[in-house]
Structures are given as structure tokens and as C-alpha cells.
Amino acid sequence: MSSASPEELLYAMVMREMQQGIRRDGLWAQALAESEADPQKSQAAYIRLRVATLRQETTGMLVKNIKGAVAEQFRPPPDFKSSRDL
């Protein structure tokens, strides 16, 4: 049994949002404009745009968490004295 790829999970998240009636109005307007208000094309465009947005958001969170972990790892212990303290 294989697990879902990260990309597949993003698409699944968008599908769940849509099933729950959750829609980002700005992205929906962009999808309508790109598809000349064709209902099927608008929905496909919205899914593509929302997945791209989620990808950016998750990448941003990952980078933030990595930066925090690196900063924590290289933080000197509280009793550390630098050459300036001598």
C-alpha cells in the first residue's frame, strides 16, 4: 500500500474544502476571469489556483519552522560567555 504524495494531499484538501462549501473569493474571481466564466473551466482553474496557494503556504511554514529550529540549535547556552564578556 503506497501513501499519497504531498501533491495529492493538497488536491484532496481542496476537494474537501469545496465539499464543505469553503471557497476563497479572490481565487474564485481569478478563476472566473481566466476561464471567461465557463463553470467547468472555472472550477478546474480554481482547484489549480488553490493548490498553488496551499503549496506556497506550506512551503512558507516549512521554511519558517526550519529557520526556527536552526536558530534554536545554534543558540548559545545561557551560561555561555563570549570573548566580549571577558
The gap between the terminal CA atoms of the chain, to the nearest Å, is 60
Within a domain: 64: yes
Read off the amino acid at residue 67. Answer: K
Within a domain: 59: yes
Within a domain: 83: no
pLDDT reported for residue 26: 97
* pLDDT < 70 regions, the chain: 1-2, 82-83, 85-86
Within a domain: 43: yes
Looking at the structure of the chain, the number of domains it has is 1
Closest CA to 58 of 17, 2, 7, 3: 7
pLDDT reported for residue 68: 83
What's the predicted TM-score (pTM) here?
Answer: 0.73
CA 63 from centroid of its chain's CA atoms? 11
Within a domain: 1: no
